[in-house]
Amino acid sequence: MKKILLLFITVSLFAFTESRAQQGEGTFMVSGAADAIRTDIPGVIRRYQAGLEAHYFLRYWISASAGYEFNYNRPNQASLGSRIYLVDPLFVRVRGLIGRDSDIALGIGYSRNLGYRFRLEGMVDYYTVTQTAGLRGGFSILLN
């Protein structure tokens, strides 16, 4: 699993350097999202998992992020990760959830601009340790 994750990150870093996203190098973005559906819980919105993240764009196509996940029936977790914009508005993301019940989330998402600074986002995350998936929706705001 570690080899697959390392290969995924390496290919993503070098294969997509020519893609363009709206944000610029050195830009900060704040985002928030919540899970609507998860494969480990039957039904829609039976328990919540929501997160807040801050992103810093190292280049216009890659960001480093740090955040916090709020969970209904499990301990809350800190998160560290990255987004790679393959072709704007599509991105892939990798996040490590740190704390009790640590996990690694691999995801793909779509970002829809509502204006210059505001975006709606939809994501699908796969949690590798618990082997579950979640459909997540949220918003983001570019700060500079």
pLDDT of 14 reads: 45
What's the mean pLDDT when you consider all of the chain? 84
**pLDDT of 18 strictly over 80:** no
Place of tokens 């393959």: 86
Q: Which domains does the chain have, with CATH numbers?
A: 2-142 (2.40.160.20)
Identify the residue with better confidence: 81 or 144: 81
**pLDDT of 69 strictly over 70:** yes
pLDDT of 31 reads: 96
Name the band, by pLDDT with cuts 50, 70 and 90, for residue 29.
Answer: very high
Query: Which of 62, 56, 57, 101 is closest to 78 using CA atoms?
Result: 101
Task: Characterize 37-72 residue by residue with b for buried, 16 or more Cβ atoms within 10 angstroms of its Cβ, and e for exposed.
Answer: bbeebeeeeeeebebebebebeebbbbebebebebe
Contact 51, 142 (CB under 8 A): no
